[in-house]
A and B are shown apart, each in its own frame.
Chain A
Amino acid sequence: MMRWRPMSAIALRHFYLLRGSPARVVPLFAWVGIDIVLWGFMSRYLNSVASPGFNFIPALLGAVLLWDFLIRIMQGVTMAFFEDVWSRNFLNIFATPLSISEYLSGLVLSSIATSAIGLAAMLLLATTIFGLSFLAYGMALAGFLVALFLFGIALGVFACAVVLRLGPAAEWFIWPIPALLSPFAGVFYPLSTLPAWMRFLSRFLPPAYVFEGVRRIVSGRAVSPGALAWAAFLAALDLVLACWFFARVYRYTVRTGLIARYSAESLS
């Protein structure tokens, strides 16, 4: 059974770090803000030169916003984990009654808090400057957001497992993960644009269903329950698999003694 106090301790630790360090707070707003402003003006320009009837603001800027949300969720988990890596805190953390599920839940709580800040900043900018209103698209969009959230958590937990297994130097493997997935997810274009082999791989990615579904909504068509169901199912499955993978890696590090010797050096 998971206990609230140990879980909250992990999130509280991250809150303390954020509160005491502007260098950690600014990136929560800065990068998403730059993305929204850049793509917002790009969308506005495309609206002015493209044929009337198609609005690039929800199609392009909305896609950027949702993709950034996914990245923020993933990074929220990994950054909270990296605080333990950088401060060499694993021995202190894992030699306690804290269970793996409680630790991961604490990372997720941290991620919810930090990504909510980023999402709020993005929505504020997109709405006030470029007139993008997600509220106009109804509750179906909330379902797709939940699927993206679950998949972002799954990516974050998977990335933590990779770093736990391979050492801190492996962080350079995990930051490009979203960029590697984005062509297959069809963030900015319909999946029909992709060649057949890429479309095949897209079937296994929850964001592919999310972005196809959201494109239908913003173009005024009916919500696709199938896309929503597949996105939610695959995201939940990926989350279970990521947690299983993390637990397996953790057991390996305990069996081999890596967790006790974990340091800033790469491990093999």
Chain B
Amino acid sequence: MNESGGSPDLPAKVLAVTDLAKCYGRTVAVDRISFEVGRGEIVGLLGPNGAGKTSTINMILGVLEPDSGSIRIQGLDLAAERSRALARTNFAAVYAPLPGNLTVYQNLRVFGLIYSVAELEKRIAEALDQFDLVRFRDVRCGALSSGEQTRASLAKAMLNHPQLLLLDEPTASLDPLAARDIRAAIREFATQGGRGVLWTSHNMYEAEAVSDRVLFLSRGKILLEGEPKALLSQHAKANLEELFIAVAREPLTLEGHREGHRP
């Protein structure tokens, strides 16, 4: 896959979600949300369990069909141009580890072929090196520690130089040092080549440190959106954890406070 970030011909937003909605029976999982991820931007998707974060990510990944709304990845409509749109994205999630019966190298080769990565062997070597996986190259993923498995998943997620990277709690199983390295890698990934990252985390310190912008979801709606520092100032909270607790406990009182919310 060719790296194409930073080109003036490309859309300014790597992800544009408009009026996205999903219900499971009578339960509203995602309630007509709209947001964007710009080039070089890391957006944190935050919220309590059941807020609709994973449903949102699954819809962007094309494995969950929205009831209404649209998703455009680098200007491509996911519903109409699924393969082309998904070729520009990739993901890692704690609940979707790489197959444990293949080695790290075999997994990267298989997914590299699926994503039609150019110069695959070279790219695999780079990814192994970047995530300190060279010594685990021929180890089955199932035999790795949870932290090593996470690094292998991240290596897969960045293998095709995606314009949009989706991460669902990428540092959940990492020790503090490894988590710091991964955050640095994600930051470097976003800034080099003007790529966008949408990630979820329950670690508010991490979200505050890494995200350029955060979206607070509750009961399927975006209640708050903005830069972490601006939101803290606006809601008179000392840190994102306090704000998170406020959102989780009293979501209704915060409705309508969304900064920059589009009609």
Say whether A and B bind each other.
yes
**Which of A's residues lie within 8 Å of B, judged by CB?**
3, 5-6, 8-9, 12-13, 16-17, 20-21, 83, 87-99, 251, 254-257, 259-260
Closest beta carbon of chain A to B63's beta carbon, Å:
5
Instruction: Report chain A residues within 8 Å CB of B110.
Output: 9, 12-13, 16
> Given the known A-B contacts A16-B106, A87-B99, A92-B96, are A97 and B113 also in contact in the complex, defined by CB atoms under 8 Å?
no
**Which of B's residues lie within 8 Å of A, judged by CB?**
22, 24, 54-55, 58, 61-65, 82-84, 86-87, 91, 93, 95-103, 106, 109-116, 140, 156
Closest beta carbon of chain A to B15's beta carbon, Å:
15
Interface-central residue, B65, B100, B103, by most chain A CB under 10 Å: B65
Among A5, A87, A95, the residue within 8 A (CB) of B63 is A95
Q: Are B61 and A95 in contact (CB under 8 A)?
A: yes
Give bound CA distance, A95 to B73, whole Å: 13
Q: Are A6 and B58 in contact (CB under 8 A)?
A: no
Instruction: Report chain A residues within 8 Å CB of B116.
Output: 3, 5-6, 97
Give bound CA distance, A91 to B211, whole Å: 25
Among A8, A91, A254, the residue within 8 A (CB) of B113 is A8
Which residue of B has the minimal Cβ distance to A96?
B114
Q: Are A99 and B101 in contact (CB under 8 A)?
A: no
Q: Are A17 and B102 in contact (CB under 8 A)?
A: yes
Q: Are B101 and A17 in contact (CB under 8 A)?
A: yes
Q: Are A98 and B62 in contact (CB under 8 A)?
A: no
**Top 10 A-B residue pairs of the complex, sorted by shortest distance between their CB atoms:** A9-B113, A87-B99, A95-B61, A97-B87, A91-B96, A97-B83, A255-B65, A260-B58, A97-B86, A9-B114
Q: Are B93 and A91 in contact (CB under 8 A)?
A: yes
Closest beta carbon of chain A to B154's beta carbon, Å:
13
Instruction: Report chain B residues within 8 Å CB of A6.
Output: 113-114, 116
Give bound CA distance, A5 to B160, whole Å: 14
Q: Are A99 and B83 in contact (CB under 8 A)?
A: yes
Closest beta carbon of chain B to A143's beta carbon, Å:
34
Q: Are B98 and A92 in contact (CB under 8 A)?
A: yes
Among A3, A90, A92, A254, the residue within 8 A (CB) of B64 is A254
Instruction: Report chain A residues within 8 Å CB of B55.
Output: 257
Closest beta carbon of chain A to B106's beta carbon, Å:
5
Q: Are B99 and A89 in contact (CB under 8 A)?
A: yes
Q: Are B62 and A12 in contact (CB under 8 A)?
A: no
Which residue of B has the minimal Cβ distance to A14?
B110
Q: Are B63 and A260 in contact (CB under 8 A)?
A: yes
Instruction: Report chain A residues within 8 Å CB of B86.
Output: 95-97
Q: Are A12 and B109 in contact (CB under 8 A)?
A: yes
Instruction: Report chain A residues within 8 Å CB of B140.
Output: 20
Which residue of B has the minimal Cβ distance to A6?
B114
Give bound CA distance, A16 to B95, whole Å: 23
Instruction: Report chain A residues within 8 Å CB of B87.
Output: 97
Closest beta carbon of chain B to A106's beta carbon, Å:
9
Give bound CA distance, A93 to B98, whole Å: 10
Please list 25 pairs of residues, one from A and one from B, whose beta carbons are closer than 8 Å in the complex, sorted by A's number.
A3-B116, A9-B111, A9-B113, A12-B109, A12-B113, A13-B106, A16-B106, A17-B101, A20-B101, A21-B101, A87-B99, A91-B63, A91-B93, A91-B96, A92-B98, A93-B114, A94-B63, A96-B111, A97-B82, A97-B87, A251-B65, A254-B65, A255-B65, A260-B54, A260-B63
Give bound CA distance, A87 to B141, whole Å: 11
Which residue of B has the minimal Cβ distance to A16?
B106
Instruction: Report chain A residues within 8 Å CB of B24.
Output: 256-257
> Given the known A-B contacts A87-B99, A87-B100, are A97 and B114 also in contact in the complex, defined by CB atoms under 8 Å?
yes
Instruction: Report chain A residues within 8 Å CB of B83.
Output: 97-99
